[in-house]
Amino acid sequence: MEDHPALWRAHAVTRRHFFGRMGLGFGAIALSALEESSAAPPPTGSGPRSTAAKPAGSSRAKAVIYLHMAGAPSTLDLFEHKPELVKVNGQKCPDSFLAGKRFAFLRGVPRMLASPFAYRQHGQSGQWISELLPRLGSVADELCVLRGMTTDQFNHAPAQLFVQTGNARLGYPSMGSWVTYGLGSANRDLPGFVVLCSGGKVPDAGKSVWGSGFLPGMYQGIQCRTDGGDPVLFLSDPKGVDRGLRRKTLDALRDLNARTEAVVGDPETRTRISQYELAFRMQVSVPDVMDLSKEPQHILDLYGARPGHVSAAESADDPRQLYRGDDPTFANNCLLARRLVEKGVRFVQLYDWGWDHHGISAGESIDETLPIKARYVDRAIAGLIADLKQRGMLESTLVVWGGEFGRTPMLQDNGNADVRKGYFGRDHHPHGFTMWMAGGGIKRGMSYGATDEMGYYAVENKTTVRDLQSTLLHAVGLDPYRFHYPYQGLDQRLIGPTDEGRILRDVLA
């Protein structure tokens, strides 16, 4: 059979492979055209996408910066001003909050826990923001605060997957992959989807939250490191290999892969060729865009960034006890996000780990650790929004902030009679929490939705994860209901198989 390539190919490609890959062949054609094109994105209708996926003239956001606080921040202590909760602080939790409910760690009858932090209103919009985020208060009129968020997941990994991929199980494309797949690349020398992590660990769901799932591998997020090493692992040439030799090596690999692709017809082979070529171009483009020393001092000060800083928390076994409010790691990432979007990257995802404040061990308390984490991100996020606005980029950049769920208005003490300072915590809570958006065609200075007076249930303009995903896709010009990818006999979508996700038109400018 080795002497008869046609017979070998017929043996390798089964009927199931043929029908499963037939649609992907169009994607390979589009990818080939992309490789030969300039920085312009590919036609939206190419590949197996619906031709109606991108309605003409609907997009104001050209890029997304998504700030995910992994571990689920206690928005009761950051954005939800609850005077009535103060009145019942320390009292036993009502039975109605416990009957038929499932919690990750709560046991017995917990006590109610009001926020120990003061609130005040900010800006002309009068947004209620905790004293822990004073700098964010300075840009309150740019925010659209979603105060009635809900989810149906209450454990970290599935909840993170649900928010970022639209499914609580592994194997589905991330939001950034969907957006990059739908919009194409605006800079052929950089990835369309870049991930930056801080806090010492990746999210509980691992790197699956920026994976491409069943989409072609070229749409997965590329994690760029900020720990002092190469920005992208294995991007630099090995010792003894210069750029000319690297080019010859890639040319040989391209020819071999092209022959394999011609015989087998696997579109992932074409993806491999494309990724090798992108990596070659990134050897020049990535170090340049990642060099924060090129920024003027007043911009570094705006974010609280420090070029070249490497935090000890980033490599510690337990980074939580090493957190410092003035650590510039997250600030550096926020500034990098602006630089990446400025260069044409479509989706920049920042994950900051360490927001899981149960209060059952040192370094994870509401009263001591949360203020440190809040200070760690406050200046950087406010600086990012202010910087995007002063550069005229905020209207074309959608900024999203939030976690995977909320925290309970009850104290997680698991029946302990005496709760010491530094051990106040809250359990996971899916029924009501806060996220916010800014820029990208979203209304400014708006408060949308609300939880009840205890912060337990979303009671006004209840907003689901599907609603958030639908609105984000719409904001970048993709129809969430028609934008799909054929896989395993279904037209797969970020928002799932039903149309339960709503575009939040009330929050659109």
417-471 pLDDT per residue, tens: 567 888 899 999 999 999 999 999 999 999 999 999 999 999 999 999 999 999 9
Answer yes or no: are the C-beta atoms of 440 and 60 closer than 8 Å: yes
Domain 37-231+290-507, CATH among 3.90.1150.10, 3.40.720.10, 3.40.10.10, 3.30.70.1230: 3.40.720.10
Assign 3-state DSSP to the chain and report helix, strand, coil percentages, each to 5.
35, 15, 50
Location of structure tokens 């004293």: 131
Find the DSSP H helices in 52-132: 83-87
Structure tokens at 188: 């052929």
* Residue-level pLDDT at 252: 74
Q: What residues does each domain of the chain span?
A: 37-231+290-507
Residue 370 neighbours by CB distance under 10 Å: 28
Between the alpha carbon of residue 467 and those of residues 402, 409, 494, the distances in Å are 14, 24, 11
pLDDT band, residue 230 (cuts 50/70/90)? low
Whether pLDDT at 9 is above 70: no
Answer yes or no: are the C-beta atoms of 315 and 227 closer than 8 Å: yes
In this structure, of 39-43, 234-238, 367-371, 469-473, the range with the lowest mean pLDDT score is 39-43
Q: What is the mean pLDDT of the chain?
A: 85
Structure tokens at 507: 């929050």
The average pLDDT across 126-136 equals 98
The residue with greater pLDDT, 157 or 421, is 157
Of the candidates 143, 175, 290, the one whose C-alpha atom is nearest the C-alpha of residue 228 is 290
pLDDT band, residue 287 (cuts 50/70/90)? confident
Residue 429's beta-bridge partner residues? Answer: 406
The tens digit of pLDDT for each residue in 247-280 reads 666 667 677 777 776 776 676 676 666 655 555 4
Residue 352's beta-bridge partner residues? Answer: 69, 198
